[in-house]
Amino acid sequence: MSRSDILARIPPRTILGPLLMRGAWLSVLSHLSVIAVVTVANGGRIPPEMLRWSLAGSIGTLAICAALAFIDIRRRGERALLGNLGLGDHELVANYVAGAALVELAFAILTAW
């Protein structure tokens, strides 16, 4: 694929912004749900390693976000509109995950201190 083909797959700004925000929210919600499950399983105590950034945790969170993004795209029924713009499921999920990756980057920077 050439550079122009890749740039043609990026959605317009009016669509890209909400997709990135949805991905960011999915990342935050997946972090909180994993922390809640581990806390319940640990007898009500939050393990300190859950509050630090790790590569394995980020990869897991991004995988959860990709799965939730795929479900969200199907649930919202926006596929017909965005399909007319030339955006398939893979591009939409990639945009969700890009928003989640920005949150992961911020989490890594904030927990490095």
| DSSP for residue 12 | P
For the chain, what are the domain ranges? 15-111
C-alpha 6/C-alpha 42 separation (Å) is 45
Per residue of the chain (113 residues), what is the pLDDT tens digit? 676 666 666 677 777 888 889 999 999 999 899 889 989 998 888 888 888 888 888 898 999 999 999 998 888 887 777 777 777 888 888 889 999 999 999 999 988 76
pTM to 2 decimals? 0.81
For 90, residues 6+ apart whose C-beta sits below 8 A from its C-beta are none
C-alpha 88/C-alpha 12 separation (Å) is 14
